[in-house]
Structures are given as structure tokens and as C-alpha cells.
Amino acid sequence: MLRYIEDELIDRNSNQITDKKRPFPYEIKCVDPEINSELLTCFTGEKTGFVQVGPKKWFFPSGYAKEAENFYNFELRPDDVFIITFPRSGTTWTQEMVWLLCNNLDFAHASQLPLTERVPFLEFNCFVHPDTKAQFLKENKHDPEKSKLVKQIDYPAWKSLSHAPDRRFIKTHLPFSLLPPDLLKVGCKVIYIARNPKDVAVSFYHLNRSIRTQGYTGDFPKYWAYFQNNLQPWTPYWEHIKEGWSRKHEKNMLFMFYEDMNKVNPRNGLVQVANFLEQSYTNDQLDKLEEHLRIDNFRQNKSVNYDILKDLGIFLSTEGDFIRKGKTGGWKDYFDEKLNREADEWIEKNLRGTGIRFPCAKSN
């Protein structure tokens, strides 16, 4: 079902059209019809169905199939900076930190330009189903400016990024195996952030309920079952983390745990990221950045809170803001004793033999 899309790629050195397309190496299959039917009743933002990619069965909505080759063949620049995470792993917080560290701590400019423009989300367009977009357009049809914005929400980031005149900062939740194979070889800097799966699932549950491109209608225990059984976008979670972990010793890669960065010693995390990005700041400057990123302040930052999606009715505030609590251990409010025991067994099984140890992942 993967359709080949022919795009001309320009070689910047020779300014000649060159064929740089790599064939996408994985088969894309539709999810089992019975499972797909159930998922469509729970995730109302998707209208066609879901697919699984390759032997690891990476899970995506139907829109991924026509974009898979474009993500895999995304034309890299040596000075690109990628922030790669599984969703809800401190991604937005890291994006803001990285952009500021690489832009002279220009807080004023950052406050005026939404984070979505400063650090585009590579694959967001394939999560906007045409029928769901049509509904957004219908709801905003009486406001020309809002209608214009809705029309733009599914414009492919890989296209807009190809025309970016300055250094590019790119957010993605895609695992390494679905990104350009030479990502760590051409000079790009990659920061991979991991977060314990219980807090990830709780935060992702609320996002799925809030953002209508997902439109989840169920409760948390049911959501956790989908998450654990790899029936949520970007899962399997463990394969995602393991792919990042396996690259952690490479020169242009920085692997970090969200809990260590945000809770244990935030200053050490800032310094580590700054050093990796070859940026140097005084203690006073880092004090200001640390205060800017403090979660209570961060939640008040309109440039990072997807306010535009709220204005368009795409993001609902019923589950809270896009930036939630940033809390470590918040999962305890959602897992009863039985569910927690099952989750711990699942975590222990998947961590066995990996060397990965998540801070605060277990009940004890």
C-alpha cells in the first residue's frame, strides 16, 4: 500500500537535480481489520485506519504510508539539530532549551515566535486525516485567518524545512530505523531523551484525549493496554528506546533521561547539552535559562503551549494545557495495585539484558 512519490531533490553543491531517493526498506501493512475497527471507535481523529511498519511493527495512522519514503529520504544538513523522543518524554522542554542554547539565549525572540515554527515537527502532517481537517475547516469557516491556518496544518514539515535559510532544529518521534540512515554520519547533532514508560503513558493518554487529531475517548486502563500492546502511534515503546540506547556512544549523539535532566540536577543537564552543542554560557546566563525552563514558568509560556491549536479548536483544554505537570512519579495517581504490578513486570521483562535503567520507573 506504500505509494512511491517522485520528488526532485536538489544537490546544493552542483545545483543539479539528482536522484537521491533510497527505496523504503520496510513493508507497510494494514492493522488486522477487527483491531482496526476497535481502534477507530476509540481514536476518533483517524478515519481510515492504522498501519504497522516493518518487522518491529511500528504503529502509525494511515497517513504515514504516503510519507514514509519522504521521512526516510529527508535531505540532511551537517548543522541540523534533531530532538528525538518517544512522545511525552520532555520533548517540548528540550526543544526550548536547545533552541535557546543555540540562539544566544534570545528569550525575546523565542517569546514572539511559536516553538512549532522554531523547531518544526517532522511527521505531524501524517497525523492530520483529511476528513478531520475538513471538520476543522468547517468549524473555522467564518474566520478567514483561522481558515488559512487550518489549511496549513498538514503542510509537510520536510518540505518547509527544505527551504529554511538558517540552521534547522527538528523535532521527531520517529525511531532511528525510520529516519535517514546517515543521520549520525553527516554531522547532524542528535539529542535523544528517554522517560520512564509509566509517566510517558499517563501524559500521552491526556494528550490523546486533548488533541482532536487523535481524539481518544476511553479511560486510562484501556489506553495503557493499547500502549503496552504496541497499538499506539510510534510504538513499540521499548524498540524505540533501545534503538536510541544502541547509538548512545556515537560521536554526534547525546542520550539522556528526562528525570535526570529535569529533576535530579537540572543545571548538570543544561551544561551537558550546552557542551554537546558546543555552546558556552556564564553561570548567570545559565541561571536565567534554568529559571525560564522551570516547569511552573514553562507552563505559562504561550510560545510553547500550542495556543494556536486551542484557538482553532484542535486542542481541547479539558485535559489541561499541552504542557502538563512535568512531574516525575505522577503515574501513581493512575495505576491501581494490580495494574502497577503488571506494569512493573512488563518493564522488568523489557529492561532485562539492556543496561537501561530508568529513574523512578518502579513503585519502589
CATH class name, domain 74-351: alpha beta
Give CA angle at 146 (298, 301), nearest 5°: 5
Q: Which of 310-314, 347-351, 357-361 has the lowest mean pLDDT?
A: 357-361
Asked if 153 contacts 129 with a C-beta cutoff of 8 angstroms, the reply is no
Q: Which of 81-90, 134-143, 286-295 has the lowest mean pLDDT?
A: 286-295
Tell me: the pLDDT tens digits for 221-261?
Answer: 999 999 999 999 999 999 999 999 999 999 999 999 998 88
- Residue 15's pLDDT is 33
Q: Report CA Rg, the chain.
A: 20
Residue 359 — very low, low, confident or very high, per pLDDT cuts 50/70/90? confident
Helix H segments across the chain? 33-42, 68-72, 91-101, 107-112, 115-118, 130-139, 144-152, 157-162, 197-210, 220-228, 237-245, 258-259, 266-276, 283-293, 295-298, 307-311, 337-351
* pLDDT value at 11 more than 90: no
State what percent of residues in the chain have pLDDT above 90. 77
Please give the Cα distance from 110 to 212 (Å, whole number).
Answer: 27
Tell me: the pLDDT tens digits for 207-220?
Answer: 999 999 999 999 99
Count CA within 13 A, CB hemisphere, residue 341: 2
Element (H, E) at 192: strand 189-194
Please give the Cα distance from 194 to 360 (Å, whole number).
Answer: 12
Length of the chain: 364
- Reduce the DSSP state of residue 345 to 3 states and report it: helix
Please give the Cα distance from 83 to 169 (Å, whole number).
Answer: 8
Mean pLDDT throughout 18-31?
A: 86
- Residue 169's pLDDT is 98
Please give the Cα distance from 103 to 110 (Å, whole number).
Answer: 9
Per residue, the 3-state secondary structure of 254-293, as one string, reads: EEEEHHHHHHHCHHHHHHHHHHHCCCCCCHHHHHHHHHHH
- Residue 17's pLDDT is 32
- Residue 294's pLDDT is 85
DSSP sequence for 169-191: EEEE---GGGS-TTTTTSS-EEE
- Residue 189's pLDDT is 98
Tell me: the pLDDT tens digits for 102-128?
Answer: 999 999 999 889 999 999 999 999 999
- Residue 177's pLDDT is 98
More confident residue, 162 or 262: 162
- Residue 9's pLDDT is 34
Residue 362 — very low, low, confident or very high, per pLDDT cuts 50/70/90? very low
Residue 302 — very low, low, confident or very high, per pLDDT cuts 50/70/90? low
Please give the Cα distance from 158 to 68 (Å, whole number).
Answer: 11
More confident residue, 258 or 303: 258
Mean pLDDT throughout 318-339?
A: 67
Asked if 90 contacts 261 with a C-beta cutoff of 8 angstroms, the reply is yes
- Residue 317's pLDDT is 74
More confident residue, 294 or 245: 245
Which cell numbers in the block locate residue 7?
Answer: 520528488
Please give the Cα distance from 128 to 47 (Å, whole number).
Answer: 10
Asked if 90 contacts 203 with a C-beta cutoff of 8 angstroms, the reply is no
Q: Where are the domains of the chain?
A: 74-351
Please give the Cα distance from 275 to 98 (Å, whole number).
Answer: 11
Mean pLDDT throughout 278-298?
A: 90
- Reduce the DSSP state of residue 360 to 3 states and report it: coil
Please give the Cα distance from 273 to 122 (Å, whole number).
Answer: 21
Instruction: Give the count of beta carbons closer than 10 Å to the beta carbon of residue 145.
Output: 9
Q: Which of 67-81, 221-235, 295-309 has the lowest mean pLDDT?
A: 295-309
- Residue 2's pLDDT is 35
- Residue 13's pLDDT is 36
- In this structure, the strands spanning 189-194 and 81-85 are parallel
Closest CA to 226 of 39, 34, 29: 39
Asked if 185 contacts 176 with a C-beta cutoff of 8 angstroms, the reply is no
Asked if 324 contacts 302 with a C-beta cutoff of 8 angstroms, the reply is no
Please give the Cα distance from 205 to 44 (Å, whole number).
Answer: 14
Which cell numbers in the block locate residue 82?
Answer: 534533531
- Residue 10's pLDDT is 30
